[in-house]
Amino acid sequence: MSKGLKGVVAAQTALSLVDGENGVLLYRGEHARELALAKSFEEVAYFIWHETWPNEEELQDLKKQIKGDRSLPEHIRSILSSLPLNTSIMSALRTAISSLGTDEYGWKPDLGQAITLTAITPTIISYWYRRQKEEKFVEPRDDLDFVANYLYMLNGEVPKAAHVRALEAYMILTMEHGFNASTFSARVTVSTESDMISAITAAVGTMKGPLHGGAPSGVIEMLEEIGMIENAYQWIEDKLTKNERIMGFGHRVYKTNDPRAEALRQIAQQVGEEDEWLALAHQVEERVIEKLAEWKPGRKLYTNVEYYAAAVMRALEMEKELFTPTFSASRMVGWTAHVLEQASDNTIYRPQAEYTGKVPAL
């Protein structure tokens, strides 16, 4: 038995390769870190959905489709407006996406549905974020691309180009990552010949769990607790002595440098070379790696993507409650691509469980 299906191959996919031993993440054969530094969100989304790179006309068509699907339907606004203000953004996102499930979303799922869900997710997030802050909703702008429009809807101001590029790199790096828990939830759901909306609702519900989507918040709390670099060694020693987890280091898959963290480290330096907080993050990273090697030799604990995701988010002045929703807005591309791939050659998932209860005498 493999508890939690760890290491069990459940299906085949052409979407991404996650090679943890060698620190490699490929999207359809291309290094994700290189795409994050050179491509736009829309270009990489097209590539993941289609397996080919778009020409200029195809790219503009995709951008037009995304812009056309950004607006919130009135019934979604009504539902969101009726939710209690203490509803988390992820819970509001899950509820809103589920409410999109009209008759037009049936079996089989199609690419148009994937584009719609990707387009509308940032709008749902920003609508609920601003409602919680008792601020007026900022309608999407047709002259802004995906990432710039997301930042604009959150803050009500056209973002700086450097900030757009930083967030775009992060969202490309988190767009797809193999058979993680939320992706598996989506594929299991659609394998029953359920619809795209049900599959993505399942994925969002899975992402909501802190073991999957909550790590960047923990990194910022850690760095805020350390405060100054002079406190780092003692703080790390205390954590290791108590055998407590240090957020942002180690990964269930990567046993060497996380390629996503390497790319984000470059982006973080570009966004805020003089930023004291980013300097603290870099110095703490060096000391944690040094101490982990000393205390846990052979464990191969390196910086993961969440560490520098937190650095980038902090540089963008993005609040903690937006981290997991933003992650979900990018992963929507991967989730929907997996739903389409599952539906194209479908077999229902039907694992067995090992019974450990009582058995009556025969």
Residues recognised as catalytic:
251, 306
Ramachandran sector of residue 353 (left: φ over 0; alpha: ψ -120 to 50; beta: rest)? beta
Task: Give the Cα separation of 317 and 160 in Å (integer).
Answer: 12
